[in-house]
Structure 1
Amino acid sequence: MDMVTTNERRPPAPGPAASPSPAARSAARVRAALRYAWPALAAWTAVRLLGLLTVWLWARHNGRSPVSALTRADGTWYLGIARDGYDAAEQLHSNMAFFPLYPGLTAAVEAVTPLDLKHSALLVSWLGGFAAAWGLFAIGAHLYDRRVGVVLAALWGVLPHSVVQLMSYSEGPFTALAVWSLYALLRGRWLTAGTLCLLAGLTRPTGSSLIGVVCLAALIAVVRRRDGWRPWAAMLLAPAGWIGYLAWVGWRTGRPDGWFRIQGEGWGSSFDLGVNTLQRAQQVLTRPSELEFYVVSLVAVLAIMLFVLSVLDRQPWQLLLYSGLLLVTTLGAAGFYHSKARFLLPAFPLLLPAAVALARAGRARAITVLTALALISAYFGGYLLLVWRFSP
């Protein structure tokens, strides 16, 4: 039998599937992280919307502009920097006391969007608060579980001075940079931690607290010869923003201590190891005072108690050192007693003991407590903006 050979037409063998681009992979990771974090982000957004609605209705009832209320006090200084830049070097009560990243971002948003300067400042602040809540969830979920992360983000949103997270203030963006820098540090991502610390150092003077943590962690890694050159890079990046801005102010004023002189002689803020804070607290507690002073005194006492609980809970030393340094720099400084509770907003590790306790107490109890705190925070935020005469 003759064999006939034919060439059958076969479909070509499938080649290797095209791998997604780095941008697509990054977008997929962000979507997955957002799906994981959405309860925390929804909780923070809900309590802050309650605060915003309270301020809006209260201001309208009093015939005042809600936007003006949200951009008052220190917010006017940030808006002035975004609009006109920094003062002349010879001014002692100078806006150079305020660090440049937040007003710089505000000016950038105004330049590329239809928003005016006030709304641009509020948008930057709100996005910073949203990013901070996301980071708080990430820290809580990393150290404990998802429920602790959700409660931690919600607690940060119902603090007495959380209205500041909606104002043209830098606390929200700074907290976002600090929490994500510490999260990167806990995960061993040195370059991310150092870069975010650099940006935090350009946002608020208390960036020095974060710098100490990142640099010490990097130094320990270098001594132990871990992770190659990356800890070295983090050690160089972390202080660059803070030192760079102070150096620039020193150059502008012709004095190496120019920024500290402006703070002390121009703004009446110095470091006295807490003597002035104790004196002011004694005055508040021994004679009739306004509501804001009582709340600040209570927050200061609770902050110290929560720090002790954090030590007993054996928090990671990076978080303990960060919140401890913030406590020292805030309570140890003289002046602006009425703002000390606001200055402690970025000290988020102090909330972890309460977040763990609430998360373990059960959903119904946690929702009950958080709802009550949200209502109190909404009222007090309206009081700070529309009744209290000084900055929050």
Structure 2
Amino acid sequence: MSDQSVSARRSDRPRTAPPPSGIARAAPALLGYAAVRALGTAILLAAAAVQGEDALHRLNGRWDSVWYVRIAEYGYGYEVMLPDGSVHSDLAFFPLLPALERAVSEMLPVGAATAGLAIGWLAALAAAWGIHAVGAHVAGQRTGVLLAVLWGVCPTAFVQSMAYTETLFTALAAWSLYAVLNDRWIAAGTLCALAGLTRPSAVALVAALGVTVLVRLLRRDLTRRTAVGAVVGAVVAPLGWLGYAAFVAVRRGSPTAYFEVQAAWGNEIDGGVALARFVVGHLTGPDPLAGVGLIAALGLLLWVLWLCVKQGLPLPLLVYTAGIVVVSLVGAAYFGSRPRLMMPAFPLLLPAAAALARPARRSVVIVVTVVLLALASGVYGAFTLLGTGPP
């Protein structure tokens, strides 16, 4: 498929000879991604300096980052009781990032907070590389490059510069999906299991791998050896998430302890009731335009999902993307975090990347578009990070 169409070469089966995903091929994507993130960080530094704030502290010393650092330094067991009597336990946070923070801080003369920031930045580059690999495999090199760059300028891209789990999870998810597209099932399952030790949204990745394996087996288009590997990969995939849920269950002495811990944080699944109430509350409140904006944003999201289906996104990417979106919307969590939770759904950007990558598109148009998006993303990120609430 050329970059003119997202759909011409797409299927849930790998191409016979996929192009290599080496560093040389990915270099334009990594350089472009690093450039737009550097611009976003520069805007944050400038805004923080004007306000007399510590930009570094906003990136690795507040909100969820503090919980991960505490786990890295002291292990699990910390709880906070809120004025309403609810208890927030650190068991709500998955273990891979704090384990890496602890390992790095023990090997190098840095604290866990600095280690977390370094891990986040390195994971961001690994994620951009994996996103490029998926995009190039599906829609060509030029689209792959732009897909990685567009991920770096999405509205919530500022989180990619924080000591959060989004970049680590996206890196594992992107490379797992790339492995699926190339029938490397055991690698895909292993990466998926690691993603399951990183974020609860790994259930979307587990579903993507499982559904793809099931469909391929029903179609009988796998060799016997490949089919065995596919089944093994599908079995391995959920072990990370299940293993952590089992750990919480044993620690709390209750088989449903994981869900109880999440519910105490307000993260229980309510099927989207909280989201609907939030939207209706704005529509009927003093600022109905905010409610209209929320409906427009949800409409745009559904339209992009429809484009992904219409343009023939491969099955594992469709299942993963839809899963991330659903998981992000059906919970009762703090509304402001939902755009961040959807950031790992990078295939949503494929239609835009393919449209921008068309051969008829002049380079100056691409550059101007990316720069404007990077500036807007940087300003929004600085405004959010220098605010009072968590992203």
Query: TM class by shorter-chain length?
Result: 0.7 to 0.9
In structure 2, the CA distance between the partners of 1:332 and 1:169, relative to structure 1 (3 Å rule), is same
Give CA deviations for 1:80-113 in whole Å, capped at 9, x if unaligned.
1111111169984101101100111111111111
In structure 2, the CA distance between the partners of 1:215 and 1:229, relative to structure 1 (3 Å rule), is same
The structural deviation recorded for 1:300 is 3.8
Report the TM-score, using the length of structure 1 for normalisation.
0.87
In structure 2, the CA distance between the partners of 1:293 and 1:179, relative to structure 1 (3 Å rule), is farther
The structural deviation recorded for 1:294 is 8.8
The structural deviation recorded for 1:283 is 2.6
Structure-2 separation of matches of 1:59 and 1:299: 29
Task: Give the structure 1 partner of residue 178 of structure 2.
Answer: 183
Task: Give the structure 2 partner of residue 76 of structure 1.
Answer: 66
Task: Give the structure 1 partner of residue 30 of structure 2.
Answer: 41
The structural deviation recorded for 1:297 is 6.3
Task: Give the structure 1 partner of residue 376 of structure 2.
Answer: 376
Give 1:163's aligned amino acid.
Answer: F
Give CA deviations for 1:159-211 in whole Å, capped at 9, x if unaligned.
11110000010000000000110010000001110110000000000001101
Which one of 128, 135, 139 corresponds to residue 130 of structure 2? 135
Query: Is residue 29–residue 132 contact of structure 2 (8 Å, CA) maintained in 1?
Result: yes
Look at both structures and tell me which one has the larger radius of gyration over its CA atoms: 1
The structural deviation recorded for 1:296 is 6.9
The structural deviation recorded for 1:273 is 1.5
In structure 2, the CA distance between the partners of 1:78 and 1:292, relative to structure 1 (3 Å rule), is farther
The structural deviation recorded for 1:240 is 0.5
Matched residues, number? 360
Task: Give the structure 2 partner of residue 216 of structure 1.
Answer: 211
In structure 2, the CA distance between the partners of 1:161 and 1:32, relative to structure 1 (3 Å rule), is closer
Give CA deviations for 1:134-181 in whole Å, capped at 9, x if unaligned.
111111111111110111011100011110000010000000000110
The structural deviation recorded for 1:218 is 2.6
Report the TM-score, using the length of structure 2 for normalisation.
0.87
Task: Give the structure 2 partner of residue 67 of structure 1.
Answer: 56
The structural deviation recorded for 1:288 is 5.2
The structural deviation recorded for 1:222 is 4.5
Task: Give the structure 2 partner of residue 24 of structure 1.
Answer: none
Give CA deviations for 1:331-388 in whole Å, capped at 9, x if unaligned.
111121111000000011111111111111332222221111100000011011102x
CA RMSD of aligned residues (A): 2.3
User: Superposed, which structure 2 residues align to 1:1-392 within 5 Å?
Assistant: 33-71=22-60, 72-87=62-77, 92-223=87-218, 224=220, 226=223, 227-264=226-263, 266-287=264-285, 299-360=297-358, 361-387=361-387, 389-392=388-391
In structure 2, the CA distance between the partners of 1:114 and 1:268, relative to structure 1 (3 Å rule), is same
Structure-1 separation of matches of 2:347 and 2:320: 8
Give 1:325's aligned amino acid.
Answer: G
Task: Give the structure 1 partner of residue 84 of structure 2.
Answer: none
Give 2:235's aligned amino acid.
Answer: L
Query: Is residue 198–residue 241 contact of structure 1 (8 Å, CA) maintained in 2?
Result: yes
The structural deviation recorded for 1:286 is 4.6
Give CA deviations for 1:56-82 in whole Å, capped at 9, x if unaligned.
222222222221111211111111111
Give 2:48's aligned amino acid.
Answer: A
The structural deviation recorded for 1:221 is 4.2
Q: Secondary structure at the match of 1:188?
A: coil
In structure 2, the CA distance between the partners of 1:258 and 1:81, relative to structure 1 (3 Å rule), is same
Structure-2 separation of matches of 1:355 and 1:319: 15
**Runs of 4+ with deviation above 3 angstroms:** 88-92, 219-223, 284-301
Query: Is residue 164–residue 171 contact of structure 1 (8 Å, CA) maintained in 2?
Result: yes
Structure-1 separation of matches of 2:104 and 2:168: 14
Q: Percent identity?
A: 40
Give 1:122's aligned amino acid.
Answer: L
The structural deviation recorded for 1:220 is 3.7
The structural deviation recorded for 1:302 is 2.6
243-252 vs 270-279, which deviates more? Answer: 270-279
Gaps of 5+ in 2: 1-19, 82-86
In structure 2, the CA distance between the partners of 1:379 and 1:298, relative to structure 1 (3 Å rule), is farther
Structure-2 separation of matches of 1:317 and 1:269: 28
In structure 2, the CA distance between the partners of 1:82 and 1:295, relative to structure 1 (3 Å rule), is farther
The structural deviation recorded for 1:298 is 5.6
Give 1:343's aligned amino acid.
Answer: L
